[in-house]
Amino acid sequence: MSYASFESATRHSEGESIIAEDIATSGVQASEAVARYALALGDDALMLGQRLAHWISRAPELEEDIALGNIALDLIGHARFFLTYAGTAWGKTEDDLAYFRDEEEFRSVRLAEQENGDFGQTIARQLIFSYYQYELYTELMKSEDPTLAAIAAKALKEVEYHQDHATAWALRLGIGTEEANRRLQEGLYYMWPYIDELFYDFEPVAELPGVAVVPSTLRARFEERLHATIAEAQLQVPDVPQARGGDRSGVMSEHRGHILTELQVLARAHPGATW
Amino acid sequence: MSENITHLPESNEWPLWEVFVRSSRGLSHVHAGSLHAPDATMALRNARDLYTRRNEGTSVWVVPAEAILASDPDSKGGFFESAQGKSYRHATYYTKSEGVKHL
Amino acid sequence: MTSTEKTPTLSPVADAPAAGASHEAEQAYFDALITEDSRVEPRDWMPEKYRKTLTRQVSQHAHSEIIGMQPEANWITRAPSLKRKAILMAKVQDEAGHGLYLYSAAETLGTPRHVLNEQLLEGRAKYSSIFNYPARTWADMGAIGWLVDGAAICNQVPLCRASYGPYGRAMVRICKEESFHQRQGWEILYELSHGTEAQKKMAQDAVNRFYGPALQMFGPPDADSPNSQQSMNWNIKRFSNDELRQRFVDMMVPQAEALGLTLPDPDIKWNEERGHYDYGPLDWDEFHSVIQGKGPCNVQRMQRRRAAHDEGAWVREAAAEYARKNAEQHAELMGA
């Protein structure tokens, strides 16, 4: 990949790069259906970003504190794009949506909510999620909705890096030592039951032909590429049943409430305050 | 200087890499600092994260620190002596042309 | 060097001692570099004590950046808006980066990073005491940015001219990046001090707790800082602890006024004669007790650092092993 063309959420908007504030002030207004679609994608990025942020100051090496921090920062950036855009349909800000919705109003996939565990478990989650997001944003770039397409174009560049990062670590852990192989394999086993939900054709998608990506159409390419990497890293595709309740409702998840408790505690203690 | 440049991690401590960053097209790569990484691929990735967080680079090189040969500071006098006292290598040595344009 | 007024051959500093030069010649060469306010570079001869002093100072500085990530990382997941969350993450990430720039400079003095890290983990190396105080509220993110980073910048700007080249260069990079750290802290406090009553109270409380320790970041009063003079003679340090502290107080007073917050020192008063603000005595007993390990978070900070190191051991090992395997495979393919 080209490092030269890489853009990161740590930087100021430059050139064509989109920023959340631009969406808020541009006057675009998402339709109800588009907003519900954007909300789900934003929630995924928010949950995973929140999880990954916890690694900062705890990573296996200082260089990795920075790498995981970059990925978390990119994801929070993506969440801000999608939530800001979704909010235009309802006159809400990204923070209204992130901080003042209740657990059952979120639409994140359970994979993004899973605990970090050890570094192997985190890399397993990153591997699955970044491969999925790569396919998603590659297609979403072609959306007839220009805002979604612009967000996807920006996010894809960053997700390519996330995917590279996860792949590089999968190879090093999978091939490096027996212990690392075992830990990553366990991580894959732990994350695997939540893959179905990534490809669940959730509620507004059918209403948005040409605008939303139909998740189920991404699965074949996702599996082909992910399975190839798993094999290259001398790991096994886990033989484990898929978890029921994969409909983004969160009804079958224990983690979402804990994540939100931490995420929202301060904002909710001071309703109406600005920060 | 080591004849045998392996830059392989001998222990589980990751080796040192020197990082060179080209800040924009048309400029040379300039030494930015160093970092630790298990191998070249990770070194390049870490260099991108560490030394270009603010768009400082359009290109990055990483070089195993032990692959760099440096002139010996103890022989500095001798090593650079020859370049000294040859001020006729510099344009300012030639003063007769003062006031003549485009020379 | 193109000027005929000062040809290189006439400059004594350019005249490095030849191979096998006597100790006196080496010392004289080093002394001349310092006198000329030139820079000492990694492969130059330098007095052992200079090397030791710098290794200690630069690595302690690096450790401070790394331990200093913790109080702020404590608030990333609870940041009250997504924008603040992103800013805080970028800032803490910068601190890891600054730690790495400094380790990189320290390593050029001959001590590998893993040894410096061991010194930290075994409690043989110090880091800035300020990070042994807890970050209790969101306003502490503001106070840390404004006061703690502010004091750090005040300390660091003159270090950009430190006589040891790699240290000065690391500081230049760090100072450039840190200017945003202090501003974001000030802005957090500004929002709070112009917000609800509860927010204002939170802001004032944070400033009350961090003001004294921030002033102590410059080190003990000059009279009790025996090593300072040597560092100044070596052009590592450019201003005394008290000079820098005064400079900091002079900057903070108007900034606090602009925030609408009060610095918790009733003795702060403009002194027309000195052209500086007077300020009251600091609690040096507390300072020394925190250094001796009695700070509220000393154990907790070290425990987190050790846990990250220990729990990451298998990851570092796997990556090193992968590199070895790859190299062997490559060698086989090449028929070596």
Q: How far is CA C115 from the centre of its chain?
A: 19
> What phi-psi label fits residue A27: left (phi over 0), alpha (psi between -120 and 50 degrees) or beta?
left
Sheet holding B59-64, edge to edge: B29-36, B16-22, B59-64
In this predicted structure, what is the pLDDT of residue C1? 36
In this predicted structure, what is the pLDDT of residue B82? 78
**Cβ neighbours for C334, distance < 8 A, ≥ 6 positions apart:** none
In this predicted structure, what is the pLDDT of residue B5? 43
Reported as a pLDDT band with limits 50, 70 and 90, residue B91 is confident
CA-nearest residue of chain B to A172?
B38
Q: Each residue of A129-156: pLDDT tens digit?
A: 999 999 999 999 999 999 999 999 999 9
d(CA C293, CA C103): 24
Reported as a pLDDT band with limits 50, 70 and 90, residue B70 is confident
Q: Inter-chain contact A275–C66, Cβ cutoff 8 Å?
A: no
Q: Residue C277 pairs with which residues in a beta bridge?
A: C270
Least trusted range by pLDDT, from B88-92, C60-64, C164-168: B88-92
Helices (H), A177-217: 178-191, 195-198
Q: Each residue of C87-96: pLDDT tens digit?
A: 999 999 999 9
Whole-number Cα distances in Å, C286 to A92, A126, C148, C327: 48, 45, 17, 54
CB burial string C236-251: b at 16+ within 10 A, e below = bbbbbbbebbbbbbee
Query: Which helix (H) or strand (E) covers residue C64, if one does?
Result: helix C48-67
Is pLDDT of B77 > 90?
A: no
Pairing relationship of beta strands B59-64 and B29-36 according to DSSP bridges: unpaired
Least trusted range by pLDDT, from C143-147, C224-228, C303-307: C224-228
The chain-wide mean pLDDT, for chain C, equals 92
In this predicted structure, what is the pLDDT of residue B95? 85
Whole-number Cα distances in Å, A271 to A47, A57, A98, C80: 22, 30, 13, 11
Interface of B with C (CB under 8 A): 6, 8-9, 11-14, 16, 33-36, 38-39, 42, 50, 53-54, 70, 72-78, 84-85, 87, 90-93
Amino acid type, C328: E
Q: How near does any CA of chain B get to the CA of A224, in Å?
A: 24
Q: What are phi and psi of C333, to 5 degrees?
A: -60, -35
In this predicted structure, what is the pLDDT of residue C20? 61
Whole-number Cα distances in Å, C105 to B43, C61, C76, C169, C284: 17, 11, 29, 9, 31
- Note which residues in 202-261 of chain C have CB less than 8 A from chain A: none
A108 is written with which tokens?
A: 């994140």
Cβ contacts (< 8 Å) between B52 and chain A: which residues?
3
Query: Nearest to residue C55, comparing CAs of C96, C104, C122, C128?
Result: C104
Specify the DSSP class assigned to residue C227.
Answer: T
In this predicted structure, what is the pLDDT of residue B85? 79
Q: Inter-chain contact C320–B53, Cβ cutoff 8 Å?
A: no
Reported as a pLDDT band with limits 50, 70 and 90, residue C333 is confident
Whole-number Cα distances in Å, B72 to C17, C100, C108, C267, C285: 12, 27, 15, 57, 49
d(CA C267, CA C233): 33
Cβ contacts (< 8 Å) between A20 and chain C: which residues?
82-83
**Cβ neighbours for A114, distance < 8 A, ≥ 6 positions apart:** A51, A121, A125, A190, A191, A194, A255
Higher pLDDT, B12 or C261: C261
d(CA C127, CA C117): 12
In this predicted structure, what is the pLDDT of residue C16? 52
Please state, for a pLDDT cut of 70, what percent of chain C lies above it: 93
The percent of chain A in helix, strand and coil, each rounded to the nearest 5, is 65, 0, 35
Q: Inter-chain contact C327–B6, Cβ cutoff 8 Å?
A: yes
Is pLDDT of C28 > 50?
A: yes
Reported as a pLDDT band with limits 50, 70 and 90, residue C172 is very high
Q: Inter-chain contact B39–C16, Cβ cutoff 8 Å?
A: no
In this predicted structure, what is the pLDDT of residue C5? 38
Q: What are phi and psi of C92, to 5 degrees?
A: -65, -35
CB burial string A43-62: b at 16+ within 10 A, e below = bbbbbbbbbbbbbbbbbbbb
Q: To 5 degrees, how large is the angle CA C241–CA C246–CA C252?
A: 125
d(CA B62, CA B31): 10
B94 is written with which tokens?
A: 């030639």
In this predicted structure, what is the pLDDT of residue C317? 96
In this predicted structure, what is the pLDDT of residue B10? 59
Coil vs helix vs strand at B34: strand
Reported as a pLDDT band with limits 50, 70 and 90, residue B76 is low
Collect the ranges in chain A with pLDDT lower than 50. 1-15
